[in-house]
Amino acid sequence: MTMQRSLSRSKVKASLDVLGWTQKELAESVGVTPQAVTNWMSGSDFPRPDKLLKLASILKLAFNDLVEARADQPIVAFKKKGGAKTTEIHRQKAVAMGVMLRPLVSYLPRVKSLRTVISTPSTEYDALQSAVGEVRDKLSIGKFASLRYEDIITEFDRNDAVIVPVMWGRKDRHENALHILLPADQVTFIYLNLDTYIEDFKFWMCHELAHVYTPELAGKDEGEDFADAFAGAILFPRDIASRAHAEATAKSTQQGEIAVLLRYAEENEISIFTVYCQIRNYAVALGLDPLRTTEQSLHAVRTMKRGDLVSQILFRNLPPEPDVFVTCAHATFKSHFFTAMEQMLREKETGAGYLHQVLDISIQDASALHAELTS
């Protein structure tokens, strides 16, 4: 395959000089053959994510110094947990995964010519509401209707965004969703962590959809800000927020107000926090009376109403068997990922290590999935 990135030979050689090492000694430290390092240095091959991380650590090089950027390099964006910060290691790993996904593209359906693009993305209230209104109209969703999972999933497929369902755990993962755009191929891979609460899952899907609509902002801070604003607005737009604000502020107690927020959250299958934020934004934009409920008092309610994880809802037994997981990807998420993967693995006789790298799962899980896809 044509590599999208290559190691910076000058930077690697300079670091080796500082260490007083040969390429053979570097190979021993990384745990590969000398020939592998030779191939990396010549540009005929590129390190896998785990080896790339080792190289960066051993040579004490930042990713931008270690790897020479190309115009068609993968662009990554994270939907993170809470206050988690994206580190250079996280970004390095995600970009390396993107490089490895490139051979899979030719096995996917042909890229579509018509896509939805938000040409002037803005978090300003009226502009944002106008943008989400146009998208909801395109999806034939009424002003007061709840946005369905099926609508979001269909939009991913219409815009050449391939959903990659994964089970990365609830506590130990940095990201809840990972966005990898391959600009030269005009294909996006959306990794969605199923080990997350159902009330948050739709928000994360809409966050990723915003990235798909605004590819020029992917990987940038302003892109993350717009994606969060877009997700909340499309799930709970101005018309619904107006009605909810009137009902909530008419209550004489905070308890009554929270009951209204909970009802709207359940009706729209979203978190009470999303409902709260969108009503607050509506009130601020129109100069109306604010809610008496504070974020602090809302947090206690939100913690008690977490519900089930998506993985618990989708699968009777956890972890699911590989065939059940692959069937879910097809049937629930309309994903072409494993269909393309099966074809590529069979044609190229690629091993389980590839799945281990591009899905960021254990080698044991990768081997079981590989056996299912190639059986």
All residues at 6 or more sequence positions from 297 whose CB lies less than 8 Å from its CB, including other chains: 254, 258
Q: What value does the mean pLDDT of the chain take?
A: 89
Task: Please tell me the pTM assigned to this model.
Answer: 0.81
pLDDT, position 3? 42
pLDDT of the residue at 53 = 82
pLDDT category of residue 2 using cuts at 50, 70 and 90: very low
The mean pLDDT value for 113-137 works out to 93
Residue 262 has pLDDT above 50, yes or no: yes
- Which region among 136-145, 213-222, 349-358 has the lowest average model confidence (pLDDT)? 213-222
Is the pLDDT assigned to residue 113 strictly greater than 90? no
Q: Please determine, for residue 348, whether its predicted confidence score (pLDDT) is greater than 80.
A: yes
1 pLDDT above the threshold of 60: no
State both tokens at 58.
């051993």
- Top pLDDT among 71 and 299 is at 299
Whether 126 has a pLDDT exceeding 50, the answer reads yes
- Residue 366 identity: A
CB burial of 100-113 (b: ≥16 within 10 Å; e: otherwise) equals bbbebbebbeeeee
pLDDT, average across residues 93-117 = 89
Structurally, what CATH architecture does the domain formed by 1-70 represent? Orthogonal Bundle (1.10)
Give the residue extent of every domain in the chain: 1-70, 103-235, 238-304, 312-374
Which tokens belong to 166? 């994964």
pLDDT > 70? residue 84:
no
pLDDT at 44 over 80: no
User: Looking at the predicted structure, is the pLDDT value of residue 216 above 80?
Assistant: yes
Residue 302 has pLDDT above 60, yes or no: yes
Report pLDDT for 91. 79
Give the CATH architecture of domain 103-235.
Orthogonal Bundle (1.10)
Q: What is the DSSP string of 192-204?
A: EESSSBHHHHHHH
Poorest-pLDDT segment among 74-83, 150-159, 262-271: 74-83
With CA atoms as reference, report the closest residue to 273 among 231, 210, 312, 325: 231
